[in-house]
């Protein structure tokens, strides 16, 4: 068995603290390979919140009463709220790897809701991802080392975890096809890397074996905008940055962000920002 954990103020006791919106009390991981069974039994629950992530194998949870045996498999998270009955077991034969974090605060319910974790959600699928594991491991290290501002870092890391969960929950709702998810990720990264080049959407779709209409429709669902709108937004954002931070001429900036015709670039910039590039740069001097 492998175990690694960290506790706030080196205390294993659960606690309730309403002084801040979100406070992390402890974090750890269990990897069960050799011990036959590792049980947890808290009939009165805890006074804080507990989030568990099954990263591999499976675990057995008894929600509400001892007889209710629910098998939770890899890729799922389990949330216990304060004073909820807790009973669960890990069995070596199922090779479970589980991460957990305990937290409290005066705004936990609203924070969970904000990130898509509804009041009635107890077990929810988030997929298996090294990102979750990296966040948990970083929280463990912060609790163990107690470096400068580590409590603030812990809160940021837990928010990071909630954001990753929220993105996955939203993604699962909108895009349930893993292939589609991967393709849209690849496309958005390609457009970010090549936005200043002459990109033909028809050619890109063909290179990935997709029809143009199918690609445009699903890319818009994934990002909220069409591929050309997405590329345009990157070009204008970077042009704006260059106007603010460099002395390049408008013609030079047009070429840098992918426009051979500076007049066309100026018209596009004006349409998006309400100023021509020259007017925008002059307005910065008057601030």
In this predicted model, what pLDDT tens digit does every residue of 40-51 receive, in sequence order?
Answer: 999 999 999 999
Q: Which of 30-34, 59-63, 241-245 has the lowest mean pLDDT?
A: 30-34
CB 135 within 8 A of CB 157: yes
**Mean pLDDT, rounded, for 9-16:** 89
**Mean pLDDT, rounded, for 175-194:** 84
Overall fold of domain 2-174: Jelly Rolls (2.60.120)
Residue 230: which of 189, 271, 280 has the closest Cα? 189
Helix or strand holding residue 58 (H, E): strand 58-61
**Residue 185 CA: distances (Å) to CA of 33, 101, 182, 219:** 35, 29, 5, 9
Q: Model confidence at 173, in pLDDT bands (50, 70, 90)?
A: low
Q: Which residues pair with 73 in a beta bridge?
A: 58
Helix (H, G, I), strand (E, B) or coil at 178: helix
Domain boundary assignment for the chain: 2-174, 177-287
Query: What is the second-level CATH architecture of the domain 177-287?
Result: Orthogonal Bundle (1.10)
Q: Model confidence at 169, in pLDDT bands (50, 70, 90)?
A: confident
pLDDT score, position 115: 96
pLDDT score, position 174: 56
CB 34 within 8 A of CB 92: yes
SS (H, E, C) 250-270: HHHHHHHHCCCCHHHHHHHHH
Q: Model confidence at 9, in pLDDT bands (50, 70, 90)?
A: confident
Residue 181 has pLDDT above 90, yes or no: no
Q: Which of 92-106, 176-190, 269-283 has the lowest mean pLDDT?
A: 176-190
Helix (H, G, I), strand (E, B) or coil at 117: coil
Give me the chain's average pLDDT, please.
92
Residue 285: which of 255, 250, 244, 248 has the closest Cα? 244
Q: Model confidence at 235, in pLDDT bands (50, 70, 90)?
A: very high
Sign of the torsion formed by the C-alpha atoms of 5, 8, 10 and 12? negative
Helix (H, G, I), strand (E, B) or coil at 54: strand
pLDDT score, position 10: 85
- To which residue do tokens 């007017």 refer? 279
pLDDT score, position 16: 95
Q: Model confidence at 283, in pLDDT bands (50, 70, 90)?
A: confident
């Amino acid at each position: 068995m492998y175990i690694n954990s960290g506790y706030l103020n080196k205390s294993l006791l659960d606690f309730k603290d309403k002084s801040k919106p979100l406070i992390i009390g402890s974090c750890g991981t269990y990897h069960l390979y050799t011990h036959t069974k590792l049980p947890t039994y808290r009939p009165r629950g805890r006074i804080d919140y507990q989030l568990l992530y099954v990263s591999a194998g499976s675990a057995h949870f008894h929600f509400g009463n001892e007889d209710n045996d629910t098998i939770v498999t890899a890729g799922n998270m389990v949330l216990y709220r304060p004073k909820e009955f807790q009973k669960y077991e890990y069995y070596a034969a199922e090779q479970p790897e589980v991460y957990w974090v305990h937290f409290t605060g005066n705004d936990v319910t609203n924070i969970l809701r904000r990130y898509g974790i509804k009041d009635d959600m107890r077990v929810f699928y988030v997929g298996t991802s090294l990102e979750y594991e990296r966040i948990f491991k970083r929280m463990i290290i912060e609790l163990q080392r107690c470096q400068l501002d580590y409590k603030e870092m812990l809160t940021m890391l837990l928010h990071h975890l909630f954001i990753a969960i929220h993105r996955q929950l939203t993604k699962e709702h909108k895009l349930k096809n893993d292939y589609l998810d991967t393709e849209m990720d690849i496309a958005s990264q390609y457009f970010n890397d090549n936005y200043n080049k002459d990109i033909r959407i028809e050619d890109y779709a063909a290179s990935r074996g997709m029809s143009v209409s199918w690609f445009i429709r699903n890319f818009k669902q994934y990002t909220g905008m069409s591929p050309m709108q997405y590329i345009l937004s990157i070009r204008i954002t970077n042009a704006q940055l260059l106007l603010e931070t460099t002395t390049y001429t408008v013609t030079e900036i047009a070429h840098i962000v992918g426009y051979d015709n500076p007049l066309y670039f100026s018209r596009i910039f004006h349409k998006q920002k309400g100023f021509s590039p020259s007017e925008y740069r002059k307005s910065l001097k008057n601030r």
